[in-house]
Chain A
Amino acid sequence: MSNGILKVDPDLKAIQKLQEIGGDTVKKCYQCATCATVCPLSPEEAPFPRKQMILAQWGFKERLLNDPAVWLCHQCGDCSKYCPREAQPGDVLGALRLMVIKEAVPLKFLHTFYNNSWGILVLPAIALLFILLATLATFQGLPNFFDANSFPYGGPTYDIWIFHLPARVLMIDVVFLPLAAFVVIMLASAINKVWNAYVDTYKIPQAYRYGMWTILKNYFIPAIVEILSHARFKKCNSNHWRANPHMLLVYAFIILAITTAIVFFMADVLGFHTPWNPLTHPVKWLGNFGGLLLLYSIIAIMVGRGKAEAEKSVKTSYADSFLINLILIIGLTGFGIEVVRSIPSLESIVSLVYLAHLVAVFILFLGVAYSKFAHLAFRTTAVMFDLYYKDINQKMAQ
């Protein structure tokens, strides 16, 4: 470096943006590297977050986008607690992750809805637009949203090929199946981009650049096992409380996803249509268990964050609280449907609660690619890359 030329081209806009989305303390860092040493997850050969802090101070956006280390951080806050400058590296890395999501996933404008307070108005409007259009089409006109027998339990029934679908089921399918496909395509594009960037950044020799299937075959399952056990997350010291609620939340989502898949198969394919009796139906038991777990873990996360903020080891950014509240709303409205459905005097609002739940789920689905929720895909990718990198390093050393 001493004899070479270092091209310094600070991106002032990127710095400003980072400061706006939770990295406001980035400039306080004086590069002592306490953070990289106290971090229980920081590797020997490529420690973080000290390096990421100086790259961020200079606005070297590209280099940060191409750095898996940003995702290997679980924001336990050890670095922030010991930081002698109150530069809060943990929060800065959180902001950097948001920036990566924004830059890597196509159709950036959708990202802005999730990271600005005015987006709270836009997102439900988008969700409602799609849901109402689908409702108009499938119910063949506007149903009465104050009568559960009109919406969702009214409307015609469709026989398409071998499927026998009531209007409400078809409505959900036409909204959420394309939405899911859209999200998967967007994320696949983003992941493809960052993976290639990681490979270039870490100068992986051509001989070790495996194809996608080899990578998936060798590293995807270990990465998933690691994520399910939260092995890395549990190494965090100062906010160790975060690992368990987060792990339970992951399990809750998995249980709910399985429930949804079963319902989809039983209702859409086999024609056993809902509503099912919550007391006697085993799939309902599973769903309710998942729902309770979701509510418990999200509330535990909220309580823990409150405490951590009081001791300044974690800061809750807009993107954090948006996702937390969204998950809370989904949990509450999900149970809300069950509750209001079972109380005859509240029957008139069943449709509205149902609609609210659908809107929230729509926002969450889209958010898998555009909100903080995208860490699901990005972190999994980074963990995979980390396993891959360690593995080929070992192979190269032999």
Chain B
Amino acid sequence: MTFINYASKEINCKIVYYGPGLCGKTTNLQYIYNKTAPESKGKMISLATEADRTLFFDFLPLDLGSIRGFTTRFHLYTVPGQVFYDASRKLILKGVDGVVFVADSQEARMEANIESIRNLEQNLKEHGFDLATIPYALQFNKRDLPSVVPVEEMYRTLNYKREPTFEAVATTGVGVFDTLKSVAKQILIELKKR
């Protein structure tokens, strides 16, 4: 749900990074945080366990500049990926405008990727959203690791609706901004349609 504030001339949109545990959602946000000019970002908040696993969410507010006099602000959230945090994951999808699915390219994590996309589809539905229509980008992360599944095969397995897909290495930033731009663009195009 986009928040349009005519008084302060701001548009606020919410993007959620989804995916199985340890796929690199938080790493995506950390990279974006590190590479964004101080005046364009707010504080990054991570509600994590002592072992640095996301407990509730990470949050990063970003200003992308202005369109037609309106400051365009994106609030990026991650969900906790571990299966048993489903109740928290559901809460974070509330009012979402666009989703990035971060898939772990390692062969051993393919099952977890599939399960997490199903979980995303289900949780979106519970909020009245449809994965088939919501702005959505797919990221194949960890392409630098040795045991990765070929891109074509990952696409065949995980592609949902021919969404824009990006190869990434979130630790070094490869593909991170391309993924973000893609989903942000889709959100703005969606706003234009309304």
A binds B: no
Interface of B with A (CB < 8 Å)?
none
